[in-house]
A and B are shown apart, each in its own frame.
Chain A
Amino acid sequence: MVLPVVVVIAVLVLYPLAQGVFFTFTNINEANIANPVLDRAATYIGVGFRNYAHVLSGDTSYGAFWSTLVRTLIWTFSCVFFHYVIGLGLALLLNREVRGRSVYRVLLILPWAVPAFISAFTWKYMFNAQYGIINQALRAVGVDNPPVWLGQNDWALVAVIIVNVWLGVPFMMVALLGGLQSIPGDLYEAAEVDGATPWQRFRHITLPGLRSVSSTVVLLGIIWTFNMFAIIYLITGPNPNTRILVTYAFERFFSGASRDYAIASTYGVLILSVLLVFAGVYRRALRKQGEVW
């Protein structure tokens, strides 16, 4: 029964990965990839580190790597911060004895249940500068010139962050709720008997009790958000103000006459390297705090 493990990993992950890394050292594109349908053999050639040199130079014709990286980091950390804080807050509320708790839970999970591309269309409609409900509401409360949300300015980035926060909170909430329920209730009773304040109980029982779940879901959240593609692509398209690393890689892969697969792969490998470095640092930091992970 170990066989499927090895096969799955090898076929679905390792082989494509190795090939992807290999492509970054070539000039592969739509015109020279092997295509059995057209009965055409591969004619791409090796170019050494040229792709990396182009991308890392930060040249705008190669996606302005460094400023895109900064925008990706802003996007990732603001999203995950709000996911975690709001998710934890709601999980704490839902973990109490509240009347109608299961109803609240179903309602709060709803954003997770709706397919992301549907949410993207929905928010695109709601963010429309003229007839979108959000700007109508802003005008109604006296904001005369509400922002053009999805235009060529930084409001677009704010808008996609709002959408992604809306989308991602339920996952955090559910995962943290599971974590909260695994904390033994005796601990709280004992603390209460000893006269601990609610803040002290939160600080010394809840947070340590959640540490294991938190460290996993925060890491997963960061990875997923870093690679989150659908929301930005569907809401703002190729808007340079919301461009993050993955959306640019997709632009290179899919749009434009050239269909530059080599640059797309180079971006892929660079994204992966950034995440691996981050995960390594993260793990080491956790280990220093005595976490076995």
Chain B
Amino acid sequence: MTLDASSLKVVRPDRVAHKRHERSRAASTALHATLAIASLIAVFPVFWVLVTSFKPDARAVETTPKLFNESSLDNYTRILSGDKGSFLTWFGNSVLIALMTTVVAVFLSATTGYAASRFRFPGKRTLMMSFLVVQMFPFAVLIVPLYNILLTLGLQGEQFGLVLVYCTTAVPFCTYMLKGYFDTVPTDIDEAGRVDGLSPFGVFWRLILPLAKPGLAVTAFYAFITAWGEVAFASAFLSAADESKTLAVGLQVFVQQNRTEWGHLAAASILVAIPAIAVFYLVQRFLVAGLASGAVKG
């Protein structure tokens, strides 16, 4: 057996790969078992609500768990027909508020993030720090002034007022993330655009935004989810009238009034979760890249 440099080169990676393969086969079962158990824990609550949502209320509180127990679509029909609170109105309000928040927050944070990424201006470092500090603001410190401001502006109880409030939490975080993302886009692109006669805003709008799609997807998702699932401000700021409530507020009332109607609540929950999960599924492939660049380089 002769040993020469070239055979070593070929053999070595091969042997390493072989060794790794062997080990992974031994550990493979454990690996898959761990991931499967973790996935089960992650999915089970959602699955259980889905199962419950088909059961009549009386069956949902039985002490022996069953997958099917007089299951039917009755809960869904009753929720959607408005028998149990104005579900569709709440749903519409939530969609409207979440979409408006997403549009406003992504627009503001994209322009702000781009400016923070490309231009030098006094206090820039402080500004970026302040975006992180804003995350520390408990809503308790902002809730009274915001209530006061909304009262003064006549927006108290209005949906647009709530959109503004959500922007206070969404915009700083989105800006922080997008600034990190814009930093990864080479400045040569900006310069090339300027040479070709684009205005600064043109560069941003036509060149940078299309390149930053993954980052934008993540921020849009974040803004949407923030608004879709927010409880505290919505409970405090929306008027008590049924037609102005969001889902988060409406379902709370539902829980308080119908303590044992778990079947109906489960059906409503599934209907609320579907849009969020759909949006999530659309952006999840961007999530890893988008979050990483935002968090690492921020």
CB of B211 closer than 8 Å to a CB of A: no
Whole-angstrom CA separation of A275 from B140 in the bound complex = 13
Which residue in A8, A111, A213, A216 is a CB contact (below 8 Å) of B42? A111
Partner of B45, one of A19, A106, A122: A122
- Decide if A234 touches B269 in the complex (CB within 8 Å): no
Residue A160, interface by CB 8 Å: no
Q: Given the known A-B contacts A1-B119, A177-B288, are A121 and B255 also in contact in the complex, defined by CB atoms under 8 Å? A: yes
One of A45-53, A75-83, A148-156, A178-186 contacting the partner: A178-186
User: Are the C-beta atoms of A220 and B135 separated by less than 8 Å?
Assistant: yes
CA of A115 to CA of B135, assembled, Å = 19
- B168 within 8 A of partner (CB): yes
> Chain A 116-146 against B: per-residue CB contact (8 Å), 1 yes, 0 no?
1111011101101011010010000000000
Q: Is the CB of A115 within 8 A of B272?
A: yes
- Stretch from B60-68, B82-90, B186-194 contacting the other chain: B60-68
Give the distance to chain A from B171, nearest Cβ to Cβ, in Å. Answer: 6
Partner among B201, B265, B291 whose Cβ is within 8 Å of the Cβ of A1: B201
B292 touches A (CB below 8 Å): yes
Task: Decide yes or no whether A267 CB sits under 8 A from chain B.
Answer: yes
Which residues, 136 to 192 on B, are CB-close (under 8 Å) to A? 136-149, 151-152, 154, 156, 164, 167-168, 171-172, 175
Number of contacts between A and B (CB, 8 Å)? Answer: 282
Contact A117 B142 (CB under 8 A): no
CB 8 Å contact bits of A255-282 with B (1 = contact, 0 = none): 0000001001101110110011001000
The size of the chain B interface, using a CB distance under 8 A, is: 98
Asked whether any CB of chain B lies closer than 8 Å to the CB of A9, the reply is yes
Indicate if A245 sits at the interface (CB-CB under 8 A). yes
Residue numbers in A under 8 Å from B279 (CB-CB): 113
Q: Is the CB of A175 within 8 A of B292?
A: yes
How many angstroms between the C-alpha atoms of A267 and B138 in the bound complex? 9
A60 part of interface (Cβ distance < 8 Å): no
Give the residues in chain A near B287, CB-CB below 8 Å.
109, 174
Q: Which residues B255-298 have CB closer than 8 A to chain A?
A: 255, 262, 265-266, 269, 272-273, 276-277, 279-281, 284, 287-289, 291-293, 295-296, 298
Query: Is residue B252 contacting chain A, with contact meaning CB distance below 8 A?
Result: yes
Which partner residue on chain B sits nearest A112 by CB separation? B280
- Select the residue from A117, A169, A170, A246 with max chain B CB neighbours within 10 A: A117
Bound complex: CA of A212 vs CA of B112, how far in Å? 24
Q: Which residues of B contact A261 (CB under 8 A)?
A: 144, 147
Interface SS of chain B = helix
Tell whether, in the assembled complex, residue B141 and residue A126 are in contact, meaning their CB atoms are under 8 Å apart. no
Judging by beta carbons under 8 Å apart, are A1 and B151 in contact?
no
A205 within 8 A of B: no
CB within 8 Å of A: which B109-139 residues: 111-112, 114-116, 119, 121, 127, 130, 132-139
The size bracket of the interface on A is: 35 or more
Determine the main DSSP class of A at the interface with B: helix
Complex interface bits, A214-252 against B, C-beta within 8 A gives 1, otherwise 0: 001101100110110110011000000000011001100
Question: A227 near B138 (CB under 8 angstroms)?
Answer: yes
Contact of A121 (CB < 8 Å), options: B32, B143, B164, B269? B269
A23 to nearest B CB, angstroms? 5
In the bound assembly, the distance between CA atoms of A163 and B298 in angstroms comes to 29
Q: In the complex, are the beta carbons of A175 and B295 less than 8 A apart? A: yes
Kindly state the separation between the CA atoms of A176 and B281 in the bound complex, as whole angstroms.
Answer: 19
Is the Cβ of A182 less than 8 Å from the Cβ of B292? yes
**Contact of A107 with B43 at beta-carbon distance under 8 Å, contacts A1-B119, A174-B288, A178-B292 already known:** yes
Of A37, A112, A181, A268, which contacts B141 at CB under 8 A? A268
B103 within 8 A of A: no
Binding site for A on B (CB under 8 A): 12, 16, 24, 31-32, 34-35, 38-39, 41-43, 45-46, 48-49, 52, 60-65, 108, 111-112, 114-116, 119, 121, 127, 130, 132-149, 151-152, 154, 156, 164, 167-168, 171-172, 175, 200-201, 204, 225, 228-232, 235-236, 247-248, 251-252, 255, 262, 265-266, 269, 272-273, 276-277, 279-281, 284, 287-289, 291-293, 295-296, 298
User: What are 16 residue pairs bridging A and B, where the CB atoms are less than 8 Å apart in the complex?
Assistant: A5-B127, A15-B149, A36-B151, A99-B32, A108-B35, A112-B280, A114-B46, A114-B276, A115-B229, A126-B48, A166-B42, A178-B292, A178-B293, A230-B229, A249-B138, A271-B138
Give 3 nearest A-B pairs by CB, closest first: A178-B292, A268-B141, A115-B229
Which residues of A are at the interface with B, using a C-beta cutoff of 8 A?
A: 1-2, 4-5, 8-9, 12-13, 15-17, 19-21, 23, 28, 33-37, 86, 89-90, 93-94, 96-99, 104-119, 121-123, 125-126, 128, 130-131, 133, 136, 166, 169-170, 174-175, 177-179, 181-182, 189, 192-193, 212-213, 216-217, 219-220, 223-224, 226-227, 229-230, 233-234, 245-246, 249-250, 253-254, 261, 264-265, 267-269, 271-272, 275-276, 279
